[in-house]
């Protein structure tokens, strides 16, 4: 059963939201490995602006990263799956390095801010793994799995599925 949760985030420059939607483990791992996920939930993360004409600024990115850290702290048995999109319509970032594709820039920025928020006085150890998957003419997709250290085996199984998609 798929469920979702939307978390609003307001900053001085705009309104954003994080939408978490459960991913059925059967969609991403084999039946043989399914029992491992009995006590673990995988969430797809969507980061978006409430209004399309708002750019994401540093305050918003920091707030989003801090909220993701809070979610991980409160729910120790979750893995977050984040796909850096191609279209740039969900979230636009005005000041970015034009030498790299937008999805790679989002990936780098997200990693930098998330890792900084997580490592700032946090007792829990979270891992932010990035995977690059070639999607043909569209270029590369940047996917992140974010999880507590004790779910490394779970993330490894998900990673093998992600990596097999790029072949």
pLDDT tens for each residue of 6-62? 998 888 877 888 899 999 988 888 888 889 898 999 999 887 777 666 566 777 777
Give 58-114 pLDDT, tens digit per residue: 777 778 888 888 888 888 899 999 887 655 444 455 555 567 777 787 788 778 777
**Number of domains into which the chain is organized:** 1
Taking the C-alpha atoms of residue 42 and residue 23, their distance in angstroms, rounded to an integer, is 5
pLDDT of residue 89: 47
- Domain span holding position 105: 4-165
Q: Give the predicted TM-score (pTM) of the model.
A: 0.81
Give 109-156 pLDDT, tens digit per residue: 778 777 776 666 666 678 888 888 877 776 788 888 999 999 999 999
Q: In 2-150, which ranges are continuous DSSP H helix? A: 58-74, 102-119
DSSP strand E in the chain: where? Answer: 4-11, 14-23, 41-49, 78-84, 126-134, 140-148
pLDDT of residue 66: 82
pLDDT of residue 22: 94
């Amino acid at each position: 059963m798929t469920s979702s949760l939307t978390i609003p985030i307001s900053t001085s420059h705009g309104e954003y939201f994080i939408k978490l939607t459960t991913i059925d483990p059967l969609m991403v791992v084999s039946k043989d490995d399914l029992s491992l996920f009995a006590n673990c939930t995988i969430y797809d993360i969507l980061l978006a602006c409430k209004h399309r004409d708002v750019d994401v600024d540093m305050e918003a990115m920091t707030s989003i990263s801090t909220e993701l850290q809070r979610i991980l702290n409160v729910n120790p048995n979750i893995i977050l799956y984040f796909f850096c999109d191609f279209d740039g319509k969900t979230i636009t970032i005005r000041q970015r390095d034009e030498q790299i594709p937008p999805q790679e820039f989002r990936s780098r920025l997200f990693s930098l801010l998330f890792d900084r928020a997580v490592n700032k006085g946090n007792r829990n150890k979270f891992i932010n793994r990035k995977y690059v998957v070639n999607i043909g003419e569209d270029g590369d997709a940047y996917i992140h799995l974010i999880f507590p250290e004790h779910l490394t085996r779970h993330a490894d199984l998900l990673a093998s599925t992600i990596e097999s998609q790029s072949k």
